[in-house]
């Protein structure tokens, strides 16, 4: 990031390569839609380009990018609420049968050679995880994604969301308890072990 600020344009490509997968996973899990996550990811890196001068070496790049991602998700949620309110005045529309923008992240999972049946199990587990994450209170989902997807420390999360570290740990604990209960059907299938390896 410092090299990019100093005029090394190639350094930006390194930033993208290094961070885009984790950022995409964070955005995807937060907004629940792959196409929207792709759009937000592009917006995120455009903001990185536009505001590179605002970054200081004292700030961890991952935390700085997460803050941008979080703001984008918040803005998107506000717009979505407005769109839903507006659509109440119009006629309901049926979802396109070919719309595959639902909760699927299989194409972002780590590769595996365990066969088709395993991939089906993984796909189902990912769908269940998406549903379980969407059902979490926003403050718990946010902490879980920051910890497990962005791999921020509890101290970094606390600083980013403006609460104490014990509060962050409490939210994480409740999130894990809720997810554990929601995904109980996978405990004996062996699928949950692969999910941990993939860190999606």
Taking only the tens of pLDDT, the chain with its 200 residues reads 989 988 888 999 999 999 999 898 889 888 888 888 999 999 999 999 888 888 888 778 888 888 888 888 888 877 765 454 444 444 434 434 344 433 333 333 344 444 444 444 556 666 777 788 888 888 898 888 888 887 888 998 888 888 999 999 999 999 989 888 887 755 545 544 434 433 34
The residue whose two tokens read 């839903």 is 84
pTM, whole model, 2 decimals? 0.59
Tens of pLDDT, residues 168-181: 999 999 998 988 88
Distance CA 196, CA 200 (A): 8
Residue 120 vs residues 44, 88, 125, 197: alpha-carbon distances, Å: 32, 37, 9, 17
Cβ atoms of 147 and 174 closer than 8 Å: no
Question: Which residue segments constitute the domains of the chain, with CATH numbers given?
Answer: 2-87 (1.10.1740.10), 106-198 (1.10.10.10)
- Give the pLDDT of residue 17: 92
Please name the helix (run of DSSP H) or strand (run of DSSP E) that holds residue 133, with its range, or none. helix 116-135
Q: Which residues contact 47 (CB under 8 A, 6 or more apart)?
A: 68, 72
192: exposed, middle or buried (Cβ count in 10 Å: 0-12, 13-18, 19+): middle
Residue 173 vs residues 26, 89, 140, 178, 195: alpha-carbon distances, Å: 19, 41, 9, 9, 19
Q: DSSP for 5-52, please give it.
A: HTT-THHHHHHHHHHHHHHHHHHHHHHS-HHHHHHHHHHHHHHHHHTG
């Amino acid at each position: 990031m410092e090299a990019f600020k100093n005029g090394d344009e190639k350094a930006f490509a390194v930033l993208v390569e290094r961070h885009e997968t984790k950022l995409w996973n964070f955005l995807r899990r937060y907004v629940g839609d792959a196409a929207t996550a792709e759009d937000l990811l592009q917006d995120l890196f455009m903001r990185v380009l536009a505001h590179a001068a605002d970054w200081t070496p004292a700030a961890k790049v991952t935390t700085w990018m997460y803050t941008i991602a979080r703001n984008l998700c918040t803005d998107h949620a506000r717009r979505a609420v407005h769109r839903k309110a507006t659509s109440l005045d119009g006629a309901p529309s049926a979802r396109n049968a070919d719309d595959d923008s639902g909760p699927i992240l299989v194409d972002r999972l780590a590769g595996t050679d365990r066969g088709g049946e395993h991939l089906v199990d993984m796909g189902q587990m990912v769908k269940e995880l998406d549903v379980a994450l969407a059902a979490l209170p926003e403050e718990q989902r946010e902490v879980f994604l920051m910890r497990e997807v962005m791999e921020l420390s509890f101290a970094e999360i606390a600083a980013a969301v403006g609460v104490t570290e014990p509060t962050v740990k409490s939210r994480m604990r409740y999130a894990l308890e809720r997810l554990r209960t929601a995904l109980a059907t996978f405990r004996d299938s062996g699928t949950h072990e692969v999910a941990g390896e993939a860190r999606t």
